[in-house]
Structure formats: C-alpha cells, structure tokens
Amino acid sequence: MPRKRTGYDVAMTEPTDERVESRAADLLPEELAAGSDDPRAQAAAILQDSDRRENDLEAAPDSFLEHRTSEQTVTPPLP
C-alpha cells in the first residue's frame, strides 16, 4: 500500500491541502491582479512549480543559487 504523504517532504510532488489553502488565501498582488477563476488551482500550480525548483536546482536555468558558509559571508571582527 502506498504511503500517505503529510506535511512537507523533499520528494513531494503534490502540495498538501493545507499548503494550498494557505497559499490561495495569500496570493501576491500581481497574482490577484492577473485574476483567477480558481485561486486554489492557481495556488497548487504555484506550489508545484516552487517544489520542483527547490528539488531540482537546474529547473530554473536563469536562476543562480549560491551556497556559502557563515565564514564566507561575514567579515570577522577585528581583535
């Protein structure tokens, strides 16, 4: 029997109902301006795209994601 997914899972491809409802309730101004017959479906699509980009760093080829340690980003204080 397949495992029921709940919460946030790295390999998740379908956003949970709770995430979709939360996202649909808080659409960005530009998303609201574009209009939608189904804000819930719009939110689900936004979350699916977001999850895909988060799980596959090559999914957004125009994006650049840098991974740094704190030592590389903060100038140490003078002694």
pLDDT digits (tens, 9 = 90+) for 22-35: 888 888 888 888 88
Q: Of 40, 54, 48, which is closest to residue 15 (Cα–Cα)?
A: 48
pLDDT the model gives residue 3:
40
Rounded to an integer, the average pLDDT of 5-24 is 66
pLDDT score of 51 more than 70: yes
Coil, helix or strand for 63?
Answer: coil
Q: Is residue 67 part of a domain?
A: no
Domain count along the chain: 1
Q: Is residue 31 part of a domain?
A: yes
pLDDT score of 15 more than 80: no
Q: Is residue 68 part of a domain?
A: no
Q: Is residue 74 part of a domain?
A: no
Residue 53's domain comprises 11-58
